[in-house]
Chains A and B, each alone.
Chain A
């Protein structure tokens, strides 16, 4: 596979990939802009109740919990949706009533913004570190084994053939598995 024969014009070689790309973009735009049925009132109720925490349970959403308080809030959300309130209005209603802690999506202001920013910062640092390491590697001269090195390895292998003692383990590799 190392001597892959390169032949034909770039267009001929990359033609299939261009086709893949065109079809993929086409399908994705149909998927993105195609007829998506608007969310029904019921769908909105379940989306909202998935993002509001049950006030009496530990860590469950209103949608996930079957506590009477959650059932009541679900009923209330359904009413608010019927009255034509937006998702944000409904959510801020509960935040005002029970405090910010009722929302399962932390707000992006104050201390809470950290929970959104830190992962991005950490990821950026990770990528930057990777890039730096690769740069350093690419400027490092490749080490080539000299004939001397090979002779050293060969003699070490010969020595090992004579003496299979575990303690004779200069590289600390342990014995075989």
Chain B
């Protein structure tokens, strides 16, 4: 039943997407607006197909319908309801359903938002591009990653349940959907970019149309990445939150190019320049979401030789190649229209700062991509095994990060076109004092080392700049000063700075040790006292939990544990973390020795300022929200590059906002 329903949903979605591509494409080429307007029905059907598939999968999971192979492999009668629900995105095939569902949702949202302009070729081609992407993802579900494969369970069959690591923390229910909302959201601006290239309307119209869509996708991606690192901190138990592993890098890559785009697009809006660059960045962002999925889903990183066995890998990499080639081809074809007449007067200007920002973000993304794919390349070349890990990424990205902080301090106060030294001297002195103040403060409270203290100084400097802009805006406009893109952006900057400071502090001053303790024994570490009180065993439906009770500085007891899962004989540790605004003490159990009078080995990780990573993430999300709400800003169709003297006299006529 669920199987049939799911297959029906996938087939419906695929058929609607294919027919939609044909109809809308024919309508656009033959100039038949009536056909192009049909896109709304195809969009609705695609979404409905995805929705039916998702419902069928959830229904199969909830009723533990083991005739669906996905449920037989990932479900279990013992899994608690919430984790069981989240199992839909716990493995490859199910996560494609989520992807298709969200893609269908965005498609419907686009069709609704642009309902009055559906016959407009720009919107038509954009919807067509999205439908092509839908064809690909529904095609994946119909072919290489079919979630609705049948299975005939023997009597009394029970599945193994999801990977134990995926049923250990509530964040599992939120992190993947957020990440996918971000990943998939970039399809919308990408589709409009392609549409702009095809229709030749490469001016700023499509940018303005997709500005908010891009911001929303970027915001979801940001939240998704931060929730992911929070999850890994709370679940994996090694005391870290970011390991530069390929999965994390794959999510960071589109974030980096997307961030670069959000900045450089302002230059195009304002000055009509950088058209090729902006389109390339946007297409790169979308292509990188596909490449990231390929990196993480094809098993290619285990070994290049495993590549041939996975057909979804071939599908994804072919789609990636298709995106890259068609984008490059289209840009080449439209090269003449993309050329823009403007010029940037001075490197010391807002535009100049955005360009520097772009170079840095591009370099950042290049380092991450190179480090992630390098082992693959070397293995393919001479069958050698190399690893590129945390030390490499930390060393290479640190100078880029510091330079970006510096840029964040300078750029917000720079005017467009040209700045003078006098102006900077005047505007930056207070931010500079805040930077120096934060360095002095950090040294007084005991921070040492050139790099971290410099990072604190630059962070304070940048925070001063962002704070200055917010203060000026609120002084001018009251509470409205917070709302709108520019000021929301400054709030996002504050969030980024908080995260950068927390990252610098926690990675520079991390202390880690292992202790073997007998009950009643205590240990001193990094200024904290740990007392081991004893053990506690809990029986839960899916697992047996052996807790180790430990008091930290008299608080607690905190209970890191080892979980023995009934299925699969796996033992998974669950760490326990005491967070304060100053530092985090994370405990995880390494070993419980039975019979030896209850002695245990625990690992203690003490890191300062960890909690500020999550707070910074919240500030970034809040800032994005502020930026999405319309502020008081000029009409986008006004000639912003007109000389100042021309700006005042007449109201722009004929344009109703």
> Which residues in A have some Cβ–Cβ distance to B below 8 Å?
1, 4, 6, 13-14, 16-17, 20, 23-24, 27-28, 30-32, 34-36, 42-43, 46, 50-51, 53, 58-61, 63-66, 71, 74, 99-106, 111-112, 114-116, 118-119, 122-123, 126-127, 130, 133-134, 137, 140, 142-143, 145, 150, 153, 157-158, 160-162, 164, 166, 169, 171-177
A4, B636: Cβ atoms closer than 8 Å? no
Q: Is B347 interfacial (CB-CB < 8 Å)?
A: yes
Establish whether residues B439 and A71, one from each chain, have CB atoms under 8 Å apart when the complex forms.
no
* Residues on A with beta carbons closer than 8 Å to the beta carbon of B117: 166, 174-175
The answer on a CB contact under 8 Å between B359 and A127 is yes
Asked if B363 CB lies within 8 Å of chain A CBs, one says yes
Residue on B nearest A71 in the bound complex, by CB: B590
What separation, in Å, do the CA atoms of A71 and B25 have in the docked complex?
A: 60
Q: How distant is the Cα of A154 from the Cα of B345 in the complex, in angstroms? A: 26
Cβ contacts under 8 Å, A175 to chain B: 117, 120, 205
Residue of A whose beta carbon sits closest to that of B391: A105
Residue of B nearest to A102 (CB): B387
Q: Does B449 reach chain A (CB closer than 8 Å)?
A: yes
Task: Give the CA-CA distance A142 to B417 in the complex, in Å.
Answer: 12
Known contacts A28-B454, A42-B511, A60-B243, then 7 further A-B pairs from the complex at CB < 8 Å, ordered by chain A residue: A24-B439, A27-B443, A42-B512, A100-B385, A106-B387, A162-B654, A174-B209
Docked CA distance A82–B204 (Å)? 65
Q: Are B392 and A104 touching (Cβ within 8 A)?
A: yes
Closest chain A residue, CB of each to CB of B441: A27
19 A-B pairs whose Cβ atoms sit less than 8 Å apart in the complex? A20-B436, A24-B439, A27-B457, A28-B457, A31-B453, A42-B512, A58-B301, A59-B301, A60-B245, A64-B236, A101-B387, A104-B392, A134-B344, A160-B653, A166-B117, A166-B120, A171-B203, A174-B201, A174-B205
Chain B residues with CB below 8 A from A60, complex form = 238, 243, 245
Known A32-B450, A106-B386; contact A161-B363, beta-carbon cutoff 8 A:
no
Query: Do the beta carbons of A100 and B439 come within 8 Å of each other?
Result: no
**Closest CB-CB distance, B548 to chain A, in whole Å?**
14
CA distance A29 to B181 in the complex (A): 46
Minimum CB–CB distance from B127 to chain A (whole Å) comes to 14
Given A20-B432, A157-B653, decide whether A106 and B374 contact each other with a Cβ distance below 8 A: yes
In the bound complex, residues from chain B placing their C-beta under 8 Å from that of A157 are 650, 652-654
The stretch that binds A, out of B81-89, B150-158, B365-373, B489-497, is B365-373
A119 and B367 in contact, given A20-B436, A63-B238 (Cβ under 8 angstroms):
yes
Q: Is the CB of A28 within 8 A of B453?
A: yes
Q: A13-B425, A126-B359, A130-B359 are in contact. Are A36 and B203 (CB under 8 A)?
A: no
Using A4-B423, A126-B363 as known contacts, say yes or no to A50 and B301 having CB atoms under 8 A apart: no
Q: Are A111 and B381 in contact (CB under 8 A)?
A: yes
B384 within 8 A of A: yes
**Contact (Cβ within 8 A) A24 B385:** no
Whether A53 lies near B450 (C-beta < 8 A) is no
Q: Bound state CA distance, A137 and B352, in angstroms?
A: 12
Q: A154 to nearest B CB, angstroms? A: 8
In the bound complex, how far is the Cα of B590 from the Cα of A64, in angstroms?
12
A172 B200 Cβ-Cβ under 8 A: yes
Set A122, A137, A160, A173: member contacting B205, Cβ < 8 A: A173
Known: A6-B422, A123-B363. A161 touches B200 (CB 8 A): no
Q: Are A50 and B390 in contact (CB under 8 A)?
A: yes
Is B540 an interface residue when CB atoms closer than 8 A count as contact?
Answer: no
Nearest chain A CB to B617 CB, angstrom units: 22
Whether A61 contacts B389 in the complex (CB less than 8 A), given A127-B359, A130-B359, A150-B646, comes out as yes
User: Does the CB pair B655–A130 fall under 8 Å?
Assistant: no
What residues of chain A lie closer than 8 Å to B343, measured between beta carbons? 137, 140, 142
Closest 8 CB pairs of A and B: A104-B389, A174-B205, A172-B201, A101-B385, A31-B453, A161-B654, A173-B205, A64-B238
Q: B412 in the interface, Cβ–Cβ < 8 Å?
A: no
Closest to B562 in A: A66
Does B112 count as interface, using CB distance less than 8 angstroms?
A: no
Distance from A22 Cβ to chain B, minimum over Cβ atoms (Å):
10
Shortest Cβ distance from residue B646 to the other chain A in the assembled complex, whole angstroms: 7
With a cutoff of 8 Å between Cβ atoms, the chain B residues found around residue A130 in the complex are 355-356, 359
B109 sits at the interface (CB 8 A): no
B389–A59 CB distance below 8 A: yes
